[in-house]
A and B are shown apart, each in its own frame.
Chain A
Amino acid sequence: MRNILRKEMRLSASALTYLFVLFSFMFLLPGYPVLCGAFFVSLGLFQSFQSAREANDILFSALLPIAKKDVVKGKYLFVCMIEGFAVLLMALCVVFRMTVFSKADFYRTNALMNANLFALGIACVIFGLFNWVFLGGFFKTAYKFARPFVLFVISAFLVIFVAEAMHHVPGLEVVNAFGTEGLSVQILLLISGMIIFFFMTVLSYKKACRSFEQINL
């Protein structure tokens, strides 16, 4: 498994994928829809799929001495690794905003959502959507990625829009907590986001393995 992940990182991945992980730091921007950071990380991942297709990567991988489903596993592992790293950077930003800058005016006077644990949970949902809609859609053919990516973009921005609007709904102000306010609810929301990510990824992976087995390369 280490070998296929290494192959993904060294041969298949676009340099932009690694560079776009830095968009995680958008969680530090005041007055900006911070969840767009998660979208840009996904856009970076999309670049790898584009460059891999130009390099006949899927066929090359299928010829390696691994089972066909391990080709799918390699892609999912790589994507989850990048997403995991992005979430880690976003978590650092969130901790920074919850502690050092918990009372900073430029964050408090923000009409948009605060980068808190709820936002981190939603970032996990966006990554889960990428894995479910884009990766799952891509492995139906292993070469067509425009349609699954457009579907992902639409669904990701719907989630961003809803998440950004939620704290303006009376009774839901808690989702925009600052510092350690409503910490237990915040943690619960983060865990919910992570569970959604987990199920979306696992279900998509299983379906992708089945589809890829039937594809003619």
Chain B
Amino acid sequence: MAIVEVQNLEKRYPSFELKDVSFNLEEGRIAGFIGRNGAGKTTTIKSMLNLIHPDCGTVSYFGKSLEGNEAEIKRRIGYSTGTVSWYPRKRIREIVDTVKRFYDCWDESLYRKYLDYFSIDEGKTPLELSEGMKVKVNLMLALSHRAEVLILDEPTSGLDPFSRNVILDVFTELRNEGVCVFFSTHIISDIEKCADDIIYISGGRIRGASAKAEFAQRFSQGSESLEDTFLRLERRDNHA
């Protein structure tokens, strides 16, 4: 059942255009949003969070339009972005203590679990953390209020292979609990490892959105790996 519906999103910038972006996300599935740098991944995600104002198109969660239901929807979803650092000189404890009051469903035991799981010292400030640890802090904030949908913009960027594996295992665990995980990446092996669905964006347009096996069947040639498929598709788009 689709719990997130993105329909006909369009956004025009002087040097870039997001055109007719539509896809659905289902509960209990992991969707990998793949595309090269500048393909439109972040613009799409920002539109899904009402951070940018699309020229047209709609985004709805749980059957409700984001417009007019923003606060309620945001309480039920979690968002994390790569290595952006919030309040670099405030202690993580202080940031969390302020943020958790916005969520009725904040789960303190879950927060403690992820604090321990990601080995985060809440007495530190974001300024004292490595880029990888910042990603983990952002993820921890998104995970601790029992979000039903997780929207993650490049959550594995800047992480070492071991930490990436830990994060991908968390995604799988959440998927098994019925959470919908939507994450953007340009690391194809992350998609291969845990995604159920693939949404492929190139040049501001969705080129394919389907289950991983179906995607491979439609786009891959012979015994081509997913990585080779994407590279070939990108080369073709560049020459087109």
Contacts and interface: CB of A to CB of B under 8 A. Distances in A.
B79 interface: yes
A11 interface: yes
Nearest to A55: B87
B106 to A, nearest CB: 11
Interface in A106-121: none
Given A54-B88, A64-B99, A64-B102, A59 B75 contact: no
Contact of B103 (A54, A55, A65, A70): A65
A6 B102 CA distance: 11
Interface in A1-37: 3, 6-7, 10-11
A67 interface: yes
Contact of B95 (A6, A11, A68, A217): A11
Interface in B56-90: 70-72, 74-75, 79, 84-90
A11 B90 contact: yes
Contacts, number: 66
Given A55-B86, A57-B87, A66 B98 contact: no
A10 B98 contact: yes
Contacts of B95: 11
A68 to B, nearest CB: 6
A217 B86 contact: no
A63 B74 contact: yes
Contacts of A65: 71-72, 74-75, 102-103
Given A6-B101, A64-B102, A215 B53 contact: yes
Given A65-B103, A66-B71, A60 B86 contact: yes
Chain A interface size, as a band, is: 20 to 34
B49 interface: yes
Interface in B36-63: 46, 49-53
B128 to A, nearest CB: 15
A62 B101 CA distance: 15
A91 B98 CA distance: 33
A67 B51 contact: no
Contact of A63 (B79, B97, B98): B79
Interface of B: 46, 49-53, 70-72, 74-75, 79, 84-90, 94-95, 97-99, 101-103
17 contacts: A3-B101, A11-B87, A55-B87, A56-B87, A57-B87, A59-B51, A60-B86, A63-B49, A63-B79, A64-B99, A65-B74, A67-B70, A68-B70, A215-B53, A216-B51, A217-B51, A217-B52
